[in-house]
Amino acid sequence: MDKTEWKILKEIADLEKTPQGAYNFRLNGGLDSRQVTANIDIVSKTDKPGIDIIVKPFTRGESVHIPVVLSMSGLTDVVYNDFYIGEGADVDIVAGCGIHNTGCETSQHDGIHVFHVGKNAKVRYVERHYGEGPGTGENILNPRTEVYIEEGGSVTMEMTQIRGVDSTLRDTIVEVGPGGECVINEKLLTDGSQKAESNVEIILLGDDATGRVVSRSVAKGTSIQVFRPCMTGKAKCFGHVQCDSIIMDEAKIKSIPAIDAQSVDAQLIHEAAIGRIAGDQILKLMTLGLTEEEAEEQILEGFLN
C-alpha cells in the first residue's frame, strides 16, 4: 500500500503500520496481505469474493483487522465475509471501508457480513466508513450485516460513517438467543447532497435477551437521512431504541423507530429526537475565544462522540 492508502487505513482502522494478530487487507477488489494466528484462521472463499474468519472456542485477547481500501476510480467491489466465533471466545474485530476517488466515475463497495456467535462468546465489532479524493465521482458504500447470537453471547457494534460518503444504504439484522445481548452504536455525518439510509432490526428470540440501538447523526447542507430502527421481542426480554439527530442548513431527517412486542413479557422502549444546535451553546463557546464555526464544530464533535 502507498502513502495515500495508509492514510485511509488510519481513518477507518486507526492503523499506521501492520497490526499484530490476524488481519486481511483488501485493496481495489483483491487481497493485499494476510496474516493468521494459531487461534484465528482466515480463508478465501472459492465460490465468490470474500473470506471466512474462524475463531476457535475460548480464544481470548486477540483481534482481527479486515479493512477495505478503494483507491481506483470507477471500481465496484462486492465482498462476502462470514465470521464463525467459537464458544466462549472474546475477540475484537475491526472492519471498515475507505475510498480515495480521484476520477469522475463512481467508486462503490458493498460489504455483506454474516456473524455466527457461539454460546457465551463476546465480540466487539468496529466498522468505519470514509470517503475522500479530488475527483468528481461519487463514493458509495452499502453494508449489509447479519448477526446470529447463541445463548449467552454478546455483540457490541460501533458503526460509524465519518465523512465523504455520497450515498449509503445500511441494512443490519440481528437475532439474539436466550440470555444474549446486542448493542449497536451508530454515528452518521452527512453534508452537501449526500444521502444515507439505515435500517436496523434486532429480534430478541430467547428469555432474558437484551437489545439496544443508539443512533446519533448530524445532517448538514441539503443532505437527506432516513432511519428505521426496529426492536422485536418474542420472549421475556428487554429492548431499547434511541435516535438523536442534529439538523442544519437545508437538510432533511426522517426517523421512524418501531417496537414490536410478540410476547406479554417483552419490555420495549423507543425514543427519537431531532433538533438544531441551541444558540446559547454557541455563544458560550464563543466567549471562550472560539469563532462561531469552531464552536459549531466542537458541539458537533461532542455530540457524535
What is the model's pLDDT at position 273? 92
* CA 53 to chain centroid: 18
Residue 288 clears pLDDT 90, i.e. is over it = no
* Region for residue 152 given its phi and psi (left: phi exceeds 0; alpha: psi -120 to 50; beta: otherwise): left
pLDDT at 121: 98
What's the average model confidence in pLDDT over 20-31?
95
Is it the case that residue 279 has pLDDT exceeding 80? no
Query: What per-residue confidence (pLDDT) applies to 111?
Result: 96
The conformation of residue 49, written as its DSSP 8-state character, comes to S
Report the pLDDT value the prediction gives residue 303, as an integer from 0 to 100: 81
Average pLDDT over the chain, rounded to an integer: 94
Q: Are strands 50-55 and 40-44 parallel, antiparallel or unpaired?
A: antiparallel
The conformational region for residue 85 under phi > 0 = left, psi -120 to 50 = alpha, else beta, is: beta
On the question of pLDDT at 233 being above 80, the answer is yes
Q: What angle do CA 140, 145, 148 make, to 5 degrees?
A: 180
Report whether 62 contacts 40 (CB < 8 A).
Answer: yes
Q: Which positions ≥6 away from 298 have C-beta within 8 Å?
A: 285, 290
- With CA atoms as reference, report the closest residue to 148 among 203, 106, 216, 218: 203
| Stated pTM of the model | 0.93
Distance CA 23, CA 5 (A): 16
pLDDT for 244 equals 93
Distance between CA atoms of residues 104 and 135, nearest Å: 6
Lowest mean pLDDT: which of 115-119, 233-237, 284-288? 284-288
Do 150 and 176 contact (CB within 8 A), yes or no?
no
pLDDT tier for residue 281 given thresholds of 50, 70 and 90:
confident
* Residue 144: how many other CB atoms lie within 10 Å: 16
**pLDDT, mean of residues 242-255:** 94
Segment 60-94, tens digit of pLDDT: 999 999 999 999 999 999 999 999 999 999 999 99
Q: How many CB atoms lie within 10 A of CB 169?
A: 16
Instruction: Note the pLDDT of residue 160.
Output: 94
Q: Is the pLDDT of residue 245 over 90?
A: yes
Question: pLDDT for 174-219, tens place per residue?
Answer: 999 999 999 999 999 999 999 999 999 999 999 999 999 999 999 9
- 128-162 confidence digits (pLDDT tens): 999 999 999 999 999 999 999 999 999 999 999 98
| pLDDT score, position 214 | 94
CB 63 within 8 A of CB 92: yes
pLDDT value of residue 1: 78
Q: For a pLDDT cut of 70, what percent of the chain falls above it?
A: 100
